[in-house]
Amino acid sequence: MLSFDGISNTFRFTVVQVAKQLELTRRLLDHPEPRLIKRIRTADDYIDTQKNMIESQCFSLLRRSTAVDKQMVNTLRALNTITINLERIADFSVNIARRVESMRESALLRKFDHRPYFEPLIAAAGRIVDALFERDATAALSICHADAELDRLYKQDFSQVIEELRAGRDAEQLVGVLLVFHYLERMGDSMLNIGEAILFAIIGERVKYSQYRALQQSLASSTVEERIEEIEIEGFWGTRSGCRIGTVHERAARSGERVVYKQGNFEKLRAEQESIERWERIAPGLVPRVMEFHRDDADATLLLEYVDGSTFQELLLSAEPAVLDRALELIESTLRRLWCSTRRPEPNPSDFLAQLASRIDDVYTVHPQFRTPDIEISSVHVARLEDMLSAAQDVERELPAPFRVFIHGDLNIDNIIYDHLRHKLHFIDLHRSGEADYVQDASVFAVSVFRLPLFVRKVRRRLDGAATQFVGWVRDFARSQHDATFDARLALGLIRSFVTSTRFEFSRRFSKTMFLRATYLLERLLAHRGNAWENFSLPDEILVY
């Protein structure tokens, strides 16, 4: 059992006092008495003091300790979160006491059964100490589950009170009754926060109850058979698509089997699962295999094979030049095989501007200055973006790809994993894969290199070189396939990626750089109308910062 000087004792007293507060509230609703209201208010003051004391003790321990490990820090963070929510429960008891005190007719309150609310609340309070200090995930989950039970009860009572209100009787008193049940339901919300804080202390990552249950159920169906307390969850990263990603492995043996999990929108993860299955048929071994897929209402959990290696972004920033060159060559040869083997001689309409239109509001939210009509930046006159995009739609209709291939769909440099020891490549984050114009992958890759906000000259030259080398290789591929409008379509792809990338960049200077490059390309495309698109040329300098 973990022990943090006097903190654990203060915490235990606080939990006991909150349990007493719940019992006093139940007794008050059974038999409203002024003395019970007074005791609830007095207890609330004591709990407030205890909360402040625990907070001070936690920070004091952190200041004076020279050997605070991650587990201790997580437990102290959880202690503070739990104590804050215990205080909220006590505050809700005071709110209930005020309501009871103001009600003229307590018989109306007794018409509704409040007792079922207290059973899960008091039971959950009794599990808090052991769940935290014994690191008992099962007990933590049962604490979380109290919220679902109280939500169910509140839904029933809410409907009953609304029916009484519609009958037009005792409206004021019924509103008071509804507020009493609302405060009881809010206590369930606090218990959910407490349970999730305990889970955080156990596994070291912030996971919502629903996400934890989905992960637990998915792991139960996979090859990871350890108890949830015996596994370690790392890197609960959030992605720009809204998914949460992490790895799971046995805590006692870091060399044991690892599993990557993704949690998020069901439709996106289902699309990724189906895409991975298609990738396996087209290019076996290039993408991680699916180990389990579990749906939970509108969300889902996808368990994937863990693959060793570094992202291409990491290689750009830290790898030896020879390793970086080998990785880039493997990416190019892999894409050539993929595109050649899946090539279908069917025209593919471009949709870069439609993709841009679907994201433009997000761009304006971060950079409202881009919306300003007829702006002038650094003495360069820039026409209104929407006007140029509207005019460019006719251009895009004139530029279908001469054939279609199977593409990644989101070939950012952090979606490419390279294992230099085995010279092996993997693609990840595949929910946008499908048959389309290969220029989509080329433009996304190039701009994902360019938009790295690194400006040291040596590093920048490395980035510029990788982007221009890759685009040069794709241009050679286009020539080999007799794709005469490659440069014009690449301009459209770069416009899309430059503009949409600014929504992730808060530096006004760097975002303006990307925005100006997009508008420059738009102006070049619009100026070329009426001429053969085969003669349009894209300057490589567009990707050099």
DSSP assignment string, 190-203: HHHHHHHHHHHHHH
Q: What would the two tokens of residue 46 be?
A: 């004591």
Same domain, residue pair 179 and 219: no
Residue 414 near residue 395 (C-beta atoms within 8 A): no
Classify 224 in phi/psi space as left (phi over 0), alpha (psi -120 to 50) or beta: beta
At residue 168 the predicted structure's pLDDT band, cuts being 50, 70 and 90, is: confident
Please give the mean pLDDT across all residues of the chain. Answer: 87
Checking if the pLDDT of 207 tops 80, the result is no
Does any domain span residue 117?
A: yes
Same domain, residue pair 272 and 318: no
Same domain, residue pair 238 and 128: no
Flag the least confident range among 139-153, 250-264, 301-315, 463-477.
250-264
Same domain, residue pair 434 and 335: yes
Same domain, residue pair 46 and 178: yes
pLDDT confidence of residue 414: 93
| Mean per-residue pLDDT, 479-498 | 97
Which of 220-234, 381-395, 426-440 has the highest mean predicted lDDT (pLDDT)?
426-440
Same domain, residue pair 69 and 138: yes
Q: Encode pLDDT of 334-353 as tens digits.
A: 999 999 999 999 998 989 99
pLDDT confidence of residue 253: 46
Does any domain span residue 233?
A: yes
Last residue of a domain, one of 305, 320, 350: 305
Q: What is the CATH number of the domain that holds 236?
A: 3.30.200.20
Same domain, residue pair 330 and 198: no
Same domain, residue pair 159 and 128: yes
Write the CA distances from 156 to 159, 178, 185, integer angstroms: 5, 11, 12
Q: What is the CATH number of the domain that holds 17?
A: 1.20.58.220
Last residue of a domain, one of 186, 204, 222: 204
| Mean per-residue pLDDT, 372-379 | 55
Last residue of a domain, one of 204, 223, 243: 204
Same domain, residue pair 463 and 324: yes
Classify 515 in phi/psi space as left (phi over 0), alpha (psi -120 to 50) or beta: alpha
Percentage of residues in the chain having pLDDT higher than 70 = 87
Instruction: List the domain range (segments joined by +) for residue 160.
Output: 7-204
At residue 261 the predicted structure's pLDDT band, cuts being 50, 70 and 90, is: confident
| Mean per-residue pLDDT, 17-33 | 93
Same domain, residue pair 198 and 260: no
Q: Encode pLDDT of 94-106 as tens digits.
A: 999 999 888 766 6
Q: Encode pLDDT of 51-89 as tens digits.
A: 988 888 888 777 776 666 778 888 888 999 999 999 999
Same domain, residue pair 268 and 158: no
Structurally, the chain folds into a number of domains equal to: 3
Does any domain span residue 187?
A: yes
| Mean per-residue pLDDT, 455-475 | 95
Does any domain span residue 45?
A: yes
